[in-house]
Every structure is written in C-alpha cells, then in structure tokens.
Structure 1
C-alpha cells in the first residue's frame, strides 16, 4: 500500500511540475511574441498612399475578448453576402440608425455560456483553452459613434488595407451554397438571438485553442491589413498595446 502511495505522490509531484513549467513557457512565449517580437507594416509608396482613401475602424475589448468594428456605409462584397439574410438586412438598410458593425470570432461554448452577462464556467474556459473547439462569428450593430479609450482604439486604413481586413473576416465565416448554378454563397446564422436585440451569431471556420484565440484572430486581421501587430497575441491587451 505504501508503494502505491509513493508512486501516486511521485506522479502528482511530476504532474504539478510539468504543468507549472508548461505555464511558465507559455507566459514567456506570450511576453516575447506579444510585446517584443512585432511585425511592422510595409510602407506604401507615395502613389499608393495618395490614391487610396482612408477608412476609419475601431478595435474594441472588454478586457478579455477583442472585436473589429467597421462602418456599415461601406460598399463591399462582405455586406452584399450579409445582406442576403432577411434579419440582418433590416440593420444594413437602415444606415440612418445603425452606423457600425462589430465583428468577433470565438469559442462556441464560451459564447453560448456568456448569455445575460454570465461568465462561462471554469470547465468551459479550460476546454476552450486546452481542447481545439468549434467557433462562432458574433455580429453586433451599433447606433452611436464610438469613443476612444484604453479599450477602444481607432485606426485609419487605406482602402486596400481595409479590403484585406474584410477578406480575412469573410473567410472566417462558414458558408453554404445558396445558388449552385451561379455559385452564390451565404453565411449560416444561428436561429437563436444573441445577447440583445441587435446582435447575432453565425457559424465560423477554424478551431479555438490556447495558441489561437479570439484575439489571435483579430491580430491576424490587422496583420493582413498592414498594421503593426504582435507575432503572437492570445490576449486582448497585447493587440491594444501595439495600437497606441
């Protein structure tokens, strides 16, 4: 019996050391890849810079999760696909009332447990971090203009940079063929409402895990939009740090 107890204690001690070591290594990766190892934007030549209009967007955060906020008035292929949904069309068509669209990518279970302002359970958080899981796109419509703060940063993108960001967003949606003959696709909206009367969930591509989080998705979009980003950004504050 004592031998079994000793084996168990040794295993527990080894497991604890392994977990602590893994956690320390992960923090080191976050520190180096998030704050010291950055990806700087490519400088546009004078002709490119002069011929492209600037479009304002926002990056917002609640401290844990980050979203990309884009102007609804912008005419793009993304809005044309989104406009196919009858529920969403009422927001996109009413540009006098709704001005901004907030878009986020994240863990499906985490999103669903966040209803009514609830914070997901510890088991859901661990599952989202440690086990690759299904994802959703979260869309929220805003009536009012946003105010800059430590958790809300405004960015001005050239038209080409903005198009690259939207391409990243479009490619994150799971799609189905609406018309096989004309190869028209549509996004897959979940039937239930979001957290309020002005937000919705859509099926998304990709898996959520410790090394690719909702903030990694935002960071990747900014990188494709030729903005200064971190090499590794699983935390919202890492993204905002580079937008100062």
Structure 2
C-alpha cells in the first residue's frame, strides 16, 4: 500500500517539473530588448532561489530609506548594492541550508505560507554565472522601484528578523506563498510587471535565469 503514495508523489514531481519547464519557456514581454544605456541591475541565484539586485543609491532611488543599513549587524561597510527577494516565512527563517528543510515546513509553504522579504547588502558584487547583470531603462527601473516598494510595509507594521550573516535581514511582507506564487515566481512577476522579458511560470530558479544572459568572466 505504501507504493501508491510514493507513486503519486513521484508523478506529481514529474508533472510539476514538466509544466515548470514549459511554463518558464513561454515569454512575457517577448519583444523586450536590453537597452544600450540605463540602470544596471543583477539577477542572482543560489541554484534554488532568485533575487533582484539593485544599486543602493541612484538619482531615482535611495534604498537606504526602505532598508536602513543599521538593520544589519555590520552597518559600517561601504555597501553599493541591495539584493531583494520574497519568499515563505518558515522556509526563510528556519532553513539556513536546504538540509534543514523539514517535510512539515515544505508542505506548509506549498499550501500557503506567510510572505517575508530577504534583503542583503553587498559591496561591489562580482559578476558570475550566478550573478548576472541586466541593463534596463530608467522608466523600467522606475516601475521596478514601485513594485519593490509595494512589498515594504509601513515602519509601524514592519518587523525585522536576523539574517543568515552580518549583512542581511528579513522583514515581514504582504502576500501568501504557495506553489502558484513561489519565490522565483515573485522574481519573474516583478520583472515582467516592470516590462522586462521573462518566463510566464517560473517556480524554479532555472526558469528565471534562462532569460538572463550569462556573462564571461576571467
């Protein structure tokens, strides 16, 4: 009798992976082209999770106003960029490594968990296979700013949580996490709403990164 649940779980995993591959291959903003000049952002991944990296300060936005530097344990470094991602509260807070992920936490996240923002401050992040630059127009960056700002709760309603290191922090955020709105779907939805080309359904990191050109590094 134990074979039936195992078979059902395996079938679900196969169908999920297949639909994720197909869905992530369908473009949104298919005609978008990277402009020659504009604002350089980055899309980063650790292989499972994706985030949007933006300059800390430009003429259009100072992200220190939303994400004060004294919220991290090492505030005195010359930070140049801010990484922003959205995900599920319990997964973010209680699984610093994927080996810490338990089945109950995973099931809760898949069926409806609370949203949380993860904000990391970087000093001149190096370009790599997992940190890919993307130039967008000033108008697109303005839209991106507004979209990220929607995830930032008013100070009176916002609670912060210690991050994994001395340069990152978590904040409670609006929204419910589920299989239809994963951390990676948040990344692609945010890019798409700003007018940038990305996949339609991207529950996995690869579905996001496939739309971001790789760079050659020494």
- Gap change, CA 1:138 and 1:124, over 3 Å in 2: farther
C-alpha contact 2:199 2:207 (8 A) present in aligned 1: yes
Q: Which has the higher contact order (CA 8 A, sep 6+)?
A: 2
Give the paired residue count: 212
C-alpha contact 1:128 1:208 (8 A) present in aligned 2: no
Larger-gyration structure (1/2): 1
SS at match of 2:113: coil
1:238 Cα deviation after fit = 1.2
| TM score, norm. by length of structure 2 | 0.82
CA RMSD of aligned residues (A): 3.0
Residues 58-207 of structure 1 aligned to structure 2 (within 5 Å): 58-76=42-60, 79=63, 81-82=65-66, 85=68, 87-88=70-71, 97-115=78-96, 117=97, 119-143=99-123, 145-175=124-154, 188-190=158-160, 192-207=161-176
- Gap change, CA 1:42 and 1:224, over 3 Å in 2: farther
Q: Which structure 2 residue ranges, 5 or more long, are not aligned?
A: 214-218
Return the alpha-carbon distance in structure 2 between the equivalents of residues 60 and 204 of structure 1: 20
1:55 Cα deviation after fit = 0.4
1:145-194 per-position Cα deviation (integer Å, ceiling 9, x unaligned): 22222211100010110111121111123335x6xxxxxxxx6131x421
Q: Which structure 1 residue ranges, 5 or more long, are not aligned?
A: 1-8, 179-186
- Gap change, CA 1:214 and 1:68, over 3 Å in 2: same
Return the alpha-carbon distance in structure 1 between the equivalents of residues 206 and 92 of structure 2: 20
Which residue is equivalent to 1:211? 180
1:88 Cα deviation after fit = 4.6
